[in-house]
Structure 1
């Protein structure tokens, strides 16, 4: 997996949290750790994540109430509850609030990773654009069913474009994924994508770029 998928981890057990962050980062996930539900609300206001892992019993705003508020705000990000105690009433309540799965403590890390990948694969479908196919989870770009050799940054840039077909992506958003961001460097990346993939990417002067609708 080349593309780093973003996970927001809500866990106030310091030792468990650090262990989970280390393991998830080894699996190439980009993990943000927070310790209470109010922090979740702050981070999700400014950032978009691919998955939420929420401990239920945390300070200030518990995991379930946090998810309820996110769902009310039309945040559909897949969410796992992590909890030491799973009873029928709590389980039904969690699913009613919109969680996708439960992980019971203590858990096997292989099981967690398998469930994460299965859930993300369902939520990150293959996107087709003419003769181009982009598998977002595996970060594979194919042209006429043949895999195209692109660098990791080039794939990130194209991922932003293909997930926003017909919409302008701001230059600053591209810069977040570049090692040495600059407008000339971005122009070079866009130029290569246009040449290698033979796609119509428009330069919206002073703002950014967009992949035109077919």
Structure 2
């Protein structure tokens, strides 16, 4: 799950990046409003966490601009502005949620899970595909009714593909979804993850589409 964090407070941002990474998000961090719009124009994100008091372009202006150009990325505003008029303005401009600083990390993560459920049309934070079940809250996998130990990137890769069972993903698309801008990725990294997933689930769990990439091979529930 790739998330864009727009926050100019470096101390807060560094703590959030670490916490979100541990919660299995791939986080891209930018520090001003112009950089946020540039990132949105050239990348796809599952969610955005947006501060309001930003350099160069205020968070409200960012929200207005992205919605005006048809960008429907779910947005959670994270701001110290606690006046009712600010919350109403943010929601009216198209924010999906509004959380006031200071905040509890567990509440932020819970609200992000709600936005992910809403985005995928699910009422619970679980994904079922054939004999595979992914618990997106507990970050755990079950195969044929038995728990399966998975590394962080294996879980994220499987989740990404299981969300769109009919879609074929190129290696580049999977790398972009799983790894941040500054992370070096070996050319065979995705292939290695796929190999491990097949060993843990089934050789047919992920299908290779020759010359294109990969798609999930499990039947839909």
Structure 2 gap ranges (5+): 118-124
TM-score, length basis structure 2: 0.75
1:132 offset after TM fit, Å? 0.6
* Separation of aligned partners in 2, 1:11 and 1:26: 14
TM superposition score normalised by structure 1: 0.77
Structure 1 residues 90 and 190: CA distance shift in structure 2, 3 A: closer
CA RMSD of aligned residues (A): 2.7
1:132 alignment counterpart = 132
1:1-214 pair list within 5 angstroms: 6-12=2-8, 17-29=9-21, 30-72=26-68, 73-84=70-81, 86-105=82-101, 107-108=102-103, 111=104, 113-122=105-114, 123-124=116-117, 125-175=125-175, 177=178, 181-183=186-188, 186-198=190-202, 199-212=204-217, 214=219
**Cα displacement (A) at 1:209:** 0.6
Name the CA shift for 1:78/1:126 in 2 (closer, same or farther; >3 Å): farther
Cα deviation digits, residues 4-33 of structure 1 (max 9, x gap)? x54433334xxxx11112322342435433
Number of aligned residue pairs: 200
For residues 144-173 of structure 1, give each alpha carbon's deviation from its aligned partner in whole angstroms, at most 9, with x where no partner exists.
332112222322322232122111111123
Greater Cα radius of gyration, structure 1 or 2: 1
Q: CA deviation at 1:79?
A: 1.4
Structure 1 stretches lacking a partner, 5+ long: none
List structure 1 runs of 4+ shifted beyond 6 angstroms: none
